[in-house]
Amino acid sequence: MYQTFDVTSRPEQGPPRLQALRAELTAEGLDGFMVPRADAHQGEYVAPCDERLSWLTGFTGSAGFCAVLTSIAGVFIDGRYRTQVKRQVAAEYTPVPWPEIQLADWLIEQLPEGGKVGFDPWLHAAGQIKTLLERLTGTGIELVQVDNLVDRVWTDRPVAPMQDVTAHELQYAGETAADKCQRLAKSLSDAGQTAALITLPDSIMWLLNIRGADIARNPVAHGFAILHDDARVDLFMAAQKLAGVTEHLGASVTIHPTANLEAAVAALNGAVAVDSTTVPQVLADKLGDRLVNAGDPCALPKARKNAAEIAGSAAAHLRDGAAVVEVLAWLDAQAPGSLTEIEVVTKLEELRQRDPALRDISFETIAGTGENGAVMHYRVSEDSNTVLNEGDLLVLDSGGQYLDGTTDITRTVPIGAAGDEEKAAFTRVLQGMIAMSCLRWPVGLAGRDIEAVGRVPLWLAGQDFNHGLGHGVGAFLSVHEGPQRLSRVSHVPLEAGMILSNEPGYYREGAFGIRIENLLVVEPAPKLTSADAEREMLVWRTLTFAPIDRRLIVVEMLTQAERNWLNAYHQEVAAKIGPNVTADAQAWLVTATATI
């Protein structure tokens, strides 16, 4: 369970690997090959054996891809990774800002005479390939399905994970797997669909009330499933993983070797629901005109947490908050210059492990001090490990995977005295976080409709941040869970029961970073007494409880309403967390939550 701090990237390894891959391009008669950060399941997180992008380029971010041509290798990264990619890739690779520059447009510019670009049809979703083909029509550029060229030159590639699957008990799940299958099967039948092909591991885990360990920090197992309109499930997963849960799965679930999947998909009759954003192209080809892009049938039901899942998440956050308070109190007692980032990460993990319900951390802890804090998804290694010095800020973003819930919390703390610019930026971030926490909005709005609320205080100062305001979070599942998001591109309406993060930030490259993050659950808004109230509304309920550092707040910048929110929140933190921490931490908490 413990996080490792090995060197995460060796830029000097990239050029010889790139040269070896280009030799394979020549052997195949190709002008390019696409290397995504993806596996056959199209989830965000991948096992070591599927870390092809990292192995080839050195870039370790959780999103991105590389397009290797004979004369240029573009590493496409979004705004979260613009700083990180500069640190991790060699000069032979060219960072490309994405989605500002689309892959098709880049290929057209780099291959003006046309050419053949290879791709592994297991690692690219059908919708992605369809969009790319449409844009490349008439350009002379051809997409060619080939076996994976990276795998040919990756001679020491790790073996595929084969971890045991366990049952997720009803007390945590809140609904039996049989009831879930019946409910979703009826939806298929009502839509005239005979089956749904499910490729995302977390959807399969949720549907069957099981959990796995094939992906570090994510309790999922690799596999595929076909849900039929009579509620039967064909599960394609290595039998050795499932030895302990065959009775739990029951007679309605039939286990098959993954090698049988293509033939089973080809044999399906009638309309088959898939999510075109995740179904591998190779499986879409097997379905042909039977494919219906109806989305993953588990996605929204999984996102709408039931009462047991919400209660479990709330309980997990209280215990997790106690661990965070303990580490913040401990950190505050240390002199500037006496700790490193790794020591902070290790201490926090030790504190979390005191909880017997903890199964893992929910992602690699981000503990970035000084300029490392400006790397949004920074991961400390032995090479980058930095001392916490006087005047620096520390961004501490972490979480736990508990049997009853998944947590994700960020706090930014000063090491010694902070500067005026840092305090002003922190206060704007806090104002955005409070504004979103207090929001009341009409039913039917999506993340894109409201996320600007958390940015306005920064915008008024000419500032912003290059990541979404929030992401969905699972129930002892993936810490990043769709389809709901607080993002400019999210069109999924927010619904009661959805859990999302609220995490505005500010990052000054080469200087410091700031982020404050709580998890919130969507609830129906209390009815207003006003006769003017016409529409059903939604509100947030905060799940995360830990102090927000008062030393970084410019109190004069806050409105009275903002002060009232912060004081009420801190009173709740003291009441909920105080009884569950040590005497030293409790004494520290009294000061940390004092009224402003």
How confident is the model over 412-456, as pLDDT tens digits? 999 999 999 999 999 999 999 999 999 999 999 999 999 999 999
What contacts 80, CB < 8 A, 6 or more positions away?
61, 63, 376, 377, 466, 467
- For 486, list phi and psi in degrees, rounded to 5: -100, 90
Answer whether residue 3 is part of any domain: no
Q: Which of 396, 268, 378, 272 is nearest to 330 (CA)?
A: 396
Q: Which residues pair with 413 in a beta bridge?
A: 394
Are the beta carbons of 235 and 253 closer than 8 angstroms? yes
Question: In terms of domains, do 378 and 442 share one?
Answer: yes
107, two tokens: 């290929």
Are the beta carbons of 406 and 358 closer than 8 angstroms? no
Domain of 539 in residue numbering reads as 304-592
Question: What's the rounded mean pLDDT across residues 41-56?
Answer: 92
Question: In terms of domains, do 308 and 293 share one?
Answer: no
112, two tokens: 């003006």
Question: In terms of domains, do 549 and 429 share one?
Answer: yes
Answer whether residue 161 is part of any domain: no
pLDDT confidence tier of residue 371, bands split at 50, 70 and 90: very high
How confident is the model over 476-522, as pLDDT tens digits? 999 999 999 999 999 999 999 999 999 999 999 999 999 999 999 99
Buried b / exposed e along 315-329 (16+ C-beta atoms within 10 A): ebbbbbbbbbbbbbb
pLDDT confidence tier of residue 387, bands split at 50, 70 and 90: very high
Confidence (pLDDT) at 8 = 55
How confident is the model over 199-244, as pLDDT tens digits? 999 999 999 999 999 999 999 999 999 999 999 999 999 999 999 9
Question: In terms of domains, do 223 and 283 share one?
Answer: yes
How far from chain centre, in Å, is Cα 101? 23
Helix (H, G, I), strand (E, B) or coil at 145: strand
Are the beta carbons of 46 and 37 closer than 8 angstroms? yes
Instruction: Give the whole-angstrom CA distance, residue 482 versus residue 404.
Output: 19
Question: In terms of domains, do 147 and 173 share one?
Answer: no
Question: What's the rounded mean pLDDT across residues 24-38?
Answer: 97
Q: Which residues pair with 393 in a beta bridge?
A: 414
pLDDT confidence tier of residue 9, bands split at 50, 70 and 90: low
pTM of the model: 0.94
Question: In terms of domains, do 289 and 331 share one?
Answer: no
Q: Which residues pair with 95 in a beta bridge?
A: 75
Answer whether residue 158 is part of any domain: no
- For 86, list phi and psi in degrees, rounded to 5: -65, -30
How far from chain centre, in Å, is Cα 366? 14
Confidence (pLDDT) at 532 = 67
Buried b / exposed e along 50-81 (16+ C-beta atoms within 10 A): bbbbbbbbbbbbebbbbbbbeeebbbbbbbbb
Confidence (pLDDT) at 81 = 86
Last residue of a domain, one of 277, 298, 319: 298
Query: Do you know the residue count of the chain?
Result: 596
Last residue of a domain, one of 102, 126, 153: 153
Confidence (pLDDT) at 11 = 81
Question: What's the rounded mean pLDDT across residues 248-272?
Answer: 98
Alpha-carbon separation of residue 275 from 183, 299, 345, 416 (angstroms): 18, 10, 37, 50
**What strands lie across the sheet with 400-402, from one edge to the other?**
358-361, 400-402, 405-406
Question: In terms of domains, do 532 and 473 share one?
Answer: yes
Q: Which residues pair with 501 in a beta bridge?
A: 519
DSSP string, 415-459: SSSPPHHHHHHHHHHHHHHHHHHT-EEETT-BHHHHGGGGTHHHH
Question: In terms of domains, do 180 and 77 share one?
Answer: no
- Averaged pLDDT of the chain: 96
Instruction: Give the CATH number, domain containing residue 403.
Output: 3.90.230.10
Res. 1: pLDDT tops 60: no
Last residue of a domain, one of 119, 153, 187: 153
What contacts 562, CB < 8 A, 6 or more positions away?
430, 431, 434
Res. 87: pLDDT tops 80: yes
Burial of 2 per CB tally in 10 Å (0-12, 13-18, 19+): exposed
Question: What's the rounded mean pLDDT across residues 306-321?
Answer: 98
pLDDT confidence tier of residue 377, bands split at 50, 70 and 90: confident
- Strands, E, within 462-579: which ranges? 470-472, 481-486, 499-502, 505-508, 512-515, 518-524, 537-542
Angle between helical axes of 307-332 and 560-577 (0-180°, round to 10): 90
Answer whether residue 4 is part of any domain: no
Answer whether residue 5 is part of any domain: no
Instruction: Give the whole-angstrom CA distance, residue 527 versus residue 301.
Output: 25
Work out the widest C-alpha separation in the chain, in whole angstroms: 74
pLDDT confidence tier of residue 363, bands split at 50, 70 and 90: very high
How confident is the model over 176-192, as pLDDT tens digits? 999 999 999 999 999 99
Res. 6: pLDDT tops 70: no
Q: What is the domain count for the chain?
A: 3
Question: In terms of domains, do 511 and 475 share one?
Answer: yes
What contacts 329, CB < 8 A, 6 or more positions away?
581, 584, 585, 588, 589, 592
Helix (H, G, I), strand (E, B) or coil at 260: helix
Res. 533: pLDDT tops 80: no
Instruction: Give the whole-angstrom CA distance, residue 99 versus residue 118.
Output: 21
Q: Which of 267, 299, 266, 294 is nearest to 191 (CA)?
A: 294
Q: Which residues pair with 96 in a beta bridge?
A: 76
How confident is the model over 558-596, as pLDDT tens digits? 999 999 999 999 999 999 999 999 999 999 999 999 999
What contacts 362, CB < 8 A, 6 or more positions away?
217, 218, 398, 399, 400, 401, 406, 407, 408, 479
Question: In terms of domains, do 286 and 310 share one?
Answer: no
Answer whether residue 159 is part of any domain: no
Are the beta carbons of 495 and 501 closer than 8 angstroms? no
Instruction: Give the CATH number, domain containing residue 149.
Output: 3.40.350.10
Percent of the chain surpassing pLDDT 70: 99
Confidence (pLDDT) at 80 = 85
How confident is the model over 88-140, as pLDDT tens digits? 999 899 999 999 999 999 999 999 999 999 999 999 999 999 999 999 999 99
Instruction: Give the whole-angstrom CA distance, residue 69 versus residue 157.
Output: 23
Q: Which of 303, 563, 330 is nearest to 431 (CA)?
A: 563
Question: In terms of domains, do 277 and 401 share one?
Answer: no
Q: Which residues pair with 76 in a beta bridge?
A: 65, 96
Question: What's the rounded mean pLDDT across residues 6-35?
Answer: 89
Are the beta carbons of 312 and 157 closer than 8 angstroms? no
Helix (H, G, I), strand (E, B) or coil at 345: helix
Res. 530: pLDDT tops 80: no
Question: What's the rounded mean pLDDT across residues 458-484?
Answer: 97
Answer whether residue 2 is part of any domain: no
Question: In terms of domains, do 280 and 310 share one?
Answer: no
Instruction: Give the whole-angstrom CA distance, residue 65 versus residue 43.
Output: 14
Give 219 or 85, the one with higher predicted confidence: 219
Confidence (pLDDT) at 134 = 96
Q: Which of 481, 480, 484 is nearest to 448 (CA)?
A: 484
